[in-house]
Structure 1
Amino acid sequence: MSIAGPSAGTVATTYLPTPKDVKEQLAGLLGRDVSLSPTTPMSPGSAEAKTVAVYVDDRLGVRAVIACDLAFSAYAGAAIGLVPPSGAAAAIEAKALDETLSENLYEVLNVMAAVFNAEGAVHVKLRDVHPSGTRIPPAVHIRLVPLGRREDFTVDIAGYGTGLFSVVVCA
């Protein structure tokens, strides 16, 4: 995960993680097989419930967002906490994460900050998580629009299920 360092007088950019970076981080974190396949970008205008995590630099400037649909949110939150798949299914049926799944998903998204922190890139950290089933502020939601520096995946978490996962670099 290294990129060329910035030259004198330039501003470091945010690293866009590769599919391999994302897969390895998720598989290691969740302790199970994870498969990724490319998909179309998640639409910010869609009414479908989604979780959005906001990553900032040291000056609190937004550098990246990760968006996950309700299915990924529930499955990842369940998998990391060893919650049975039925717990994730209940959240999907209720169209909202319970407190346990929300807290577990926060941990997943917090650790995912590491995929942005490549050598020579600006350092980012998790600032906020807006869990699936809650209102996402418009200023955060609009960050899903960029089509240039992003990766969009269908992610299958072995033993749990499949959901959508998008990484969008904002700066």
Structure 2
Amino acid sequence: MDFGLPTPRALVTTLTDLLDRDVTLTPAPPFIPGPFRPATLGVYVDDSLQVVAVGVLDIALSAYASASLVMLPRKAAWEAVSSHTLTTPLRDQLHVVLTTLGELLTIPGERIHLYAVHAAGDRPPEFVLHKTWVLERRLDVRITVPGYGSGLLALVRA
């Protein structure tokens, strides 16, 4: 059954185009964020404002993708990962990354858009966090951003 999740190839192509780097992707076990696994959550809704999907980037991918997007030095991204804190320039770019990922979440006749971003370190609403616990209707991968490092991405259909 098609849950409107992108193919790994589409994901690589989109991120490569967005970041202007040849990203690589490998399968990963389900990534469930929590107090000791900080993550950025992008909340996607339909036209009736019902949550239909959640994009989850661990702190590493949040920092590496954002830094790569605006060509910040890798040291800035690495410091954010080691301190578990995203700086304002990194946080600002997460909207671009998550909006682009949202364009890959499609089912014919369904319009989806990014409604909210809860950056790693912020406390998301519990109901959004609970949506990441779904073990079906999801795509979990490890993305490597050349020159920066790798991190985890999960796209979860609610």
**Could you list the runs of 5+ residues in structure 1 that have no partner in the other structure?**
4-12
TM-fit CA distance, 1:47: 2.2
TM-score by length of 1: 0.87
- Corresponding residue for residue 78 of structure 1: 67
Look up the match of 2:133: 145
Give the % identical residues. 36
Contact preservation (8 Å) 1:116, 1:123 = no
Q: Which runs of 5 or more structure 2 residues have no equivalent in the other structure?
A: none
Aligned length: 158
Q: Distance in 1 between matches of 2:88 and 2:34?
A: 26
Residues 40 and 117, structure 2, Cα contact 8 Å, conserved in 1: yes
> What does residue 54 of structure 1 align with?
43
SS of the residue corresponding to residue 115 of structure 1 reads coil
- Computed over aligned residues only, the root mean square deviation of the Cα atoms, in angstroms, reads 1.6
Match of 2:47, SS state, is: coil
| Residue type at the aligned position of 1:145 | W
Structure 2 SS opposite 1:63:
strand
What is the CA distance between 1:121 and its match in structure 2?
A: 4.5
For 2:79 and 2:127, how far apart are their aligned partners in 1? Answer: 30
For residues 157 and 8 of structure 2, the distance between their equivalents in structure 1, rounded to whole angstroms, comes to 14
Conserved in 2, the CA contact under 8 Å of 1:152 and 1:167?
yes
Preserved CA contact (<8 Å) 2:63 2:77: yes
Aligned equivalent of 1:95: 84
Question: Alignment partner of 2:52: what SS?
Answer: strand
Please give the alpha-carbon distance, in whole angstroms, between the structure 2 residues aligned to 1:43 and 1:26: 22
List structure 1 runs of 4+ shifted beyond 4 angstroms.
none
- CA displacement at 1:117 relative to structure 2: 3.1
Look at both structures and tell me which one has the larger radius of gyration over its CA atoms. 1
Compute the TM-score of the two structures, normalised by the length of structure 2.
Answer: 0.94
